[in-house]
């Protein structure tokens, strides 16, 4: 089972949640983020994170090969470990709010649980 963070886009009018308004971000190591780094962030729309990581990798080109390789590997490991957390931070910065955490076998089950939880939440004024 995997932990998914449920983020919802803040809406000003309609209170009914649809699949487009809810994002799921898993809490796990991301192999795609480890290997693709800035491109993974671009795929998820987090261009400031992609730019920062790209600049860091370009800066490592100025280092000797051994130091640059070790630092590049360590940075890739950090991105693989923390990429999903940075993505959640970026989404909150963009106006999403974290509304729930669900435990599910896969993303489809997590989305069904999340939408069920959001539909059953009491209205707050």
Q: What is the pLDDT of residues 20-79, one digit of tens each?
A: 678 999 999 999 999 999 999 999 999 999 999 999 999 999 999 999 999 999 999 999
Q: Looking at residue 21, what is its pLDDT? A: 78
- Helices 47-60 and 65-93 cross at an angle (nearest 10°) of 170
Q: What is the pLDDT of residues 92-113, one digit of tens each?
A: 999 999 999 999 999 999 999 9
pTM summary value = 0.82
Q: Looking at residue 15, what is its pLDDT? A: 60
The encoded tokens of residue 55 equal 């600049």
Task: Provide the CB-side half-sphere exposure for 118 (13 A, CA).
Answer: 26
């Amino acid at each position: 089972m995997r932990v998914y963070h449920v983020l919802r886009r803040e809406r000003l009018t309609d209170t009914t949640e649809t699949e487009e308004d809810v994002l799921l971000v898993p809490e796990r190591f991301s192999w795609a983020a480890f290997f693709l780094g800035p491109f993974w962030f671009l795929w998820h729309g987090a261009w400031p994170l992609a730019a920062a990581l790209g600049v860091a990798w370009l800066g490592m080109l100025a280092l000797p090969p051994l130091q640059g390789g070790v630092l590049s590997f360590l940075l890739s490991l950090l991105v693989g470990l923390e990429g999903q957390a940075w993505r959640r931070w970026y989404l909150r910065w963009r106006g999403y709010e974290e509304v729930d955490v669900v435990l599910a076998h896969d993303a489809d089950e997590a989305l069904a649980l999340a939408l069920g939880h959001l539909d059953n939440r009491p209205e707050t004024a």
